[in-house]
Structure 1
């Protein structure tokens, strides 16, 4: 029996894309750089076309599947998960806003500012209008999802549900076969442009520090979450954290909330969460609880804004976090799904340009496995809380 070839993961591919982009920008002639930038630009056009359909497909099915007959238990879990996501994002902004400024020397900021407006032009500029505006896609997804969840089997059949399920599968296929494989090319083209314009090394000198801070914030959040859960559930938080290690490592290795569910269920069992609660909360929160992703996206957005002298404040960040907390429902099911869902809303914090969004993608995905691990591990902290409340006030 032949051994299966080990595939190169997305993060190594992105790192290779960044390195190739820098080398091409530094050493190869301009015509070749323009060729790479053209390919990257065409991919960007396709990405913008797909994103509203991805939001429509994932959010619709996420709501339709997760609101079937759950009643009070669903409401309780959803409120706790959403609150956790909002708190994580808000704290991430306060940390980033107060800490990241020390990473950014005046010299580095001046180098970045001096390159504003300088870019490598693609050979071809094409524009395709998406079939839906992103906000329209979110609104339509909520209307369809909520109506299907309450009417299916009562006032209407499963035809529309089955259509949306197939549509979601098609979009997921597009993500796996086109979007994810070509992301390194997109990033490569961005770094060709950045290198030729002179801003690459000033930016990279800042981003590695941002990476370390984000990982530390993930770990602090988990310690806080399990201490709160332990206090409510009258369990030892250190034991809960120890029980979660296999689930955390499974999420880091697989980079997928869905793939980590079986291991996370075992962690929940070790925490003493009742079977009926863990079988409900763990799969549900794998789709709706994104504290780790929110920490990463908020911190990265704050850093990129600071690097480009874009004003960012709590007044702009809170609506951004509140919107993403809803829009990213079910997006963790796809690699890099959270940042892809966030792209259309980055304009809310001033990051509307393709170049800045490409930096966001690169920075986010290099930390995606840790964000996913934070999401997954936080699910069991919620499980302990829900189990305690359910036994005391709902079940009785």
Structure 2
């Protein structure tokens, strides 16, 4: 692998930040460590301000664009993708309820800056109130997006698409470059707290669980797809392995589209159906991402003795599913968009959100591989329902919107 390309990836930078944070925690003086704690305080406050704006800017044009798509089969495919994503979240909740009480027993986390009077506190803090709350952003984006599909307001639609491009540029040029420093500060603080070992041990267990659960999810998806389409699920899954391997290496659903398309056709899916579902699912089907985020979030809540009820979990899963389906292109498979829900619905603080980002990106490739491989299962189901008869005009009408999104996100994909 080209070292220059590897060193420019977000995953590589995050890993380096984690290692340096751990090493520096052994010898950094408190005065220097507090510089990074101050940075984390300011950056965390900025994220609190920025996330509602990000959610509004991404979801509004996405919903409006989906409404302008190819009607019936667009709705069917998106509905199946959403159902698969929500199912992955429910699977994560069931696995966490079953496994965490024994695997994470006696494991606990403390705030990264909670180490005594005045120790590692920030030098100063600047309050950055958000223009509106996360739920307000979601409701406003849903309302405007749905309304634009009815009114067909081309001017307003063009405006929100321009806003989307601006926000994506802010993410690519400001948020992403600063994330490694944010993660460095988190692990530096945890190391100086003395709670780093227990946290890494516990989260190492959760990372392994997340990887294993992606394979279990794929088995379930292809068992259902095979039964619905009348095909051998094992053979169908094996046909998708090139797409899985490509996604594992690129960590990009968009870059894997040509391979996913070819693999899907090998499973007997009509070319027009494959050409319709694969690009669409690349930005709407995020079951692997949902699985990882939910497993990590529930682990943090368990380790911090935070209350997690089923109604709370199902509400989070349903909202996260909508956010990810409607907000393609967010770096790291929608983890940035998820941070707003983590804070507003689950009560996460900045340190917990930073740990979520680090853990998510650490195994991002496995989530992406699960996403694109599952796209092949959805294509089989849609092909059975449509009997291979999605028209070229329907395909082009949807692909026009999806290709725009994919092209706009090339810069982000190169950074992840």
Q: Does 1:167 align with 2:163?
A: yes
Partner secondary structure for residue 26 of structure 2: helix
- Consecutive unaligned residues in structure 2, runs of 5 or more: 392-416
Residues 314-353 of structure 1 correspond to what in structure 2 (within 5 A)? 314-347=310-343, 350-353=346-349
CA 351–253 in structure 1, closer or farther in 2 if over 3 Å, else same? farther
Separation in structure 1 between the aligned mates of residue 132 and residue 344 of structure 2, nearest angstrom: 18
Residue pair 2:272, 2:389 contacting (<8 A) in 1 also: no
Residue pair 1:264, 1:376 contacting (<8 A) in 2 also: yes
User: Which residue in the other structure is 1:272 paired with?
Assistant: 268
Q: Does 1:380 align with 2:370?
A: no
User: Which residue in the other structure is 2:176 paired with?
Assistant: 180
CA 113–159 in structure 1, closer or farther in 2 if over 3 Å, else same? closer
Q: Does 1:17 align with 2:13?
A: no
Q: Deviations over 1:253-301 (max 9, x none)?
A: 2222222222211122222211222222112222221111111011101
Q: Deviations over 1:36-93 (max 9, x none)?
A: 1112222222222221121112112221222224222122212211111111111111
TM-score, normalisation: structure 2: 0.87
Residue pair 1:320, 1:348 contacting (<8 A) in 2 also: no
Q: Deviations over 1:234-258 (max 9, x none)?
A: 1121221112112112222222222
User: Which residue in the other structure is 1:204 paired with?
Assistant: 200
CA 301–69 in structure 1, closer or farther in 2 if over 3 Å, else same? closer
Residue pair 2:111, 2:351 contacting (<8 A) in 1 also: no
Separation in structure 2 between the aligned mates of residue 113 and residue 194 of structure 1, nearest angstrom: 8
Residues 124-273 of structure 1 correspond to what in structure 2 (within 5 A)? 124-152=124-152, 156=153, 158-273=154-269
User: Which residue in the other structure is 2:63 paired with?
Assistant: 63
Residues matched between the structures, number: 386
Cα distance, 1:26 vs. partner? 2.1
User: Which residue in the other structure is 1:296 paired with?
Assistant: 292
Residue pair 2:82, 2:284 contacting (<8 A) in 1 also: yes
Separation in structure 2 between the aligned mates of residue 275 and residue 166 of structure 1, nearest angstrom: 33
Residues 304-315 of structure 1 correspond to what in structure 2 (within 5 A)? 304-315=300-311
CA 45–163 in structure 1, closer or farther in 2 if over 3 Å, else same? same
Separation in structure 2 between the aligned mates of residue 304 and residue 4 of structure 1, nearest angstrom: 34
CA 134–114 in structure 1, closer or farther in 2 if over 3 Å, else same? closer
User: What RMSD, in angstroms, separates the aligned Cα atoms of the two structures?
Assistant: 2.2
Partner secondary structure for residue 127 of structure 1: coil
Residue pair 1:42, 1:126 contacting (<8 A) in 2 also: yes
Partner secondary structure for residue 333 of structure 1: coil
Separation in structure 2 between the aligned mates of residue 354 and residue 316 of structure 1, nearest angstrom: 20
Q: Deviations over 1:13-47 (max 9, x none)?
A: 11111122222222111111011111222222222
CA 310–92 in structure 1, closer or farther in 2 if over 3 Å, else same? same
Residue pair 2:323, 2:337 contacting (<8 A) in 1 also: yes
User: Which residue in the other structure is 2:92 paired with?
Assistant: 92
Separation in structure 2 between the aligned mates of residue 347 and residue 135 of structure 1, nearest angstrom: 11
Q: Does 1:365 align with 2:361?
A: yes
Partner secondary structure for residue 204 of structure 1: helix
Residue pair 1:115, 1:198 contacting (<8 A) in 2 also: no
Residue pair 2:272, 2:390 contacting (<8 A) in 1 also: no
Residue pair 1:86, 1:325 contacting (<8 A) in 2 also: yes
Residue pair 1:256, 1:332 contacting (<8 A) in 2 also: no
Cα distance, 1:148 vs. partner? 2.4
CA 189–115 in structure 1, closer or farther in 2 if over 3 Å, else same? closer
- Consecutive unaligned residues in structure 1, runs of 5 or more: none
Cα distance, 1:379 vs. partner? 1.3
Residue pair 2:222, 2:377 contacting (<8 A) in 1 also: yes
